[in-house]
Amino acid sequence: MKNTVTTFQQAKEKGEKLSMLTAYDYSTAKLVDRAGINGILVGDSLGNVILGYEDTLSVTVEDMIHHGAAVARGAKNALVVIDMPFLSYQTSVYDAVTNAGRLMKEGRAQAVKLEGGEEVCPQIKAITDAGIPVMAHLGLTPQSINAFGGFKVQGKSEQAAKKLLSDAKKVEEAGAFAITLECVPAKLAKLVTETVGIPTIGIGAGNACDGQILVYQDLLGVFTDFTPKFVKRFANVGEVMTEAFRQYDKEVKEQSFPAKEHEYTIADEVLERLCGSIIE
Ligand code: KIV
């Protein structure tokens, strides 16, 4: 059954946990979807794990549309959320609605995600009023990495925790259908989850959140440049891939691949006539 923002709201009301993973292409989206994951985020983390940038700041709306549309073609049941990249919504309410609209029209998003609290509430309201569901993102918001001075747990001081709780209430009032909580102390995430009426989706925010999300390359051990403390590696697919690539390299060089069963045939008489015509 297709997951929608209503499914997410109902899950919160029934106390059922929600699962989300990132994906950036058609084949992976199909695998994630087949596993029964509730939502796929086409995260701007694609800047790190797909494009090899050191942060998410260079990701463009075009990048998100390109990858988002591929994911949307592969996701039959999962809710597809596409991230709004850096400066595609912070600049003005007009830019926010225009770019969210492109992610929906061209990228086939069912919802968009943007980072920030009170300061982006006018954008959340306007995008939502245009009929585009918005997921908010609080805590460690990677597009503000330079302002934070690095990847650090957020909301640890009383003042920061108060601001995070207040932001959560404000984004809900502005119309957000869910909130991603990234790198937030577990007890604070629990308090936020109990305070707001919309689902919280945690990443490094403990297990009291209404749902969880991970970057799939982290979960599979495919991206190893940096592994945050909150990541659990569910499989070592990176090792499996490297081993398969090694074996392929070996078989190509020793000429055991391709074998007879991988070849296409041609009738001998065609070949004989061909060789004859070359010699003439
Ligand atoms: O871009 C992303 O993958 C994200 C998740 C880390 C929540 O925003």
Share in percent of the chain as helix, strand, coil (round to 5): 50, 15, 40
Question: Environment class of residue 12 by beta-carbon count within 10 Å: exposed (0-12), middle (13-18) or buried (19+)?
Answer: buried
Q: Which amino acid is at 133?
A: P
Distance CA 187, CA 200 (A): 13
DSSP label at residue 130: T
Classify 108 in phi/psi space as left (phi over 0), alpha (psi -120 to 50) or beta.
left
Contact by Cβ (8 Å): 115, 141: yes
5-235: CATH topology is TIM Barrel (3.20.20)
Alpha helices, H only, the chain: 5-14, 26-34, 46-49, 61-74, 93-105, 121-129, 145-148, 158-174, 186-195, 216-220, 237-253, 268-279
Domain boundaries, the chain: 5-235, 240-279
Q: What does the pLDDT read at residue 277? A: 86
Task: Give the per-residue pLDDT at 30.
Answer: 98
Please name the residue whose Cα sits nearest to atom 8 of ligand 1.
Answer: 43
Which one is catalytic: 13, 172, 182, 261? Answer: 182
Task: Report the predicted TM-score, pTM, of the whole model to 2 decimal places.
Answer: 0.96
pLDDT by residue for the chain (280 residues), tens only, comes to 899 999 999 999 999 999 999 999 999 999 999 999 999 999 999 999 999 999 999 999 999 999 999 999 999 999 999 999 999 999 999 999 999 999 999 999 999 999 999 999 999 999 999 999 999 999 999 999 999 998 899 999 999 999 999 999 999 999 999 999 999 999 999 999 999 999 999 999 999 999 999 999 999 999 988 889 999 999 999 999 999 999 999 999 999 999 999 999 999 999 999 998 876 6
Cβ of 99 less than 6 Å from ligand 1: no
CA of 10 from ligand 1 middle (Å) equals 23
Looking from the CA of residue 44, the nearest atom of ligand 1 is 1
What sign does the dihedral 101-182-18-54 (CA atoms) show?
positive
Q: Is 280 a catalytic residue?
A: no
Strand 178-182, strand 134-139: pairing? parallel
The predicted pLDDT at position 228 comes to: 93
Rounded to whole angstroms, the Cα distance separating 164 from 154 reads 9
**Distance separating alpha carbons of residues 143 and 206, to the nearest angstrom:** 22
Q: Which two tokens stand for residue 12?
A: 């919160």
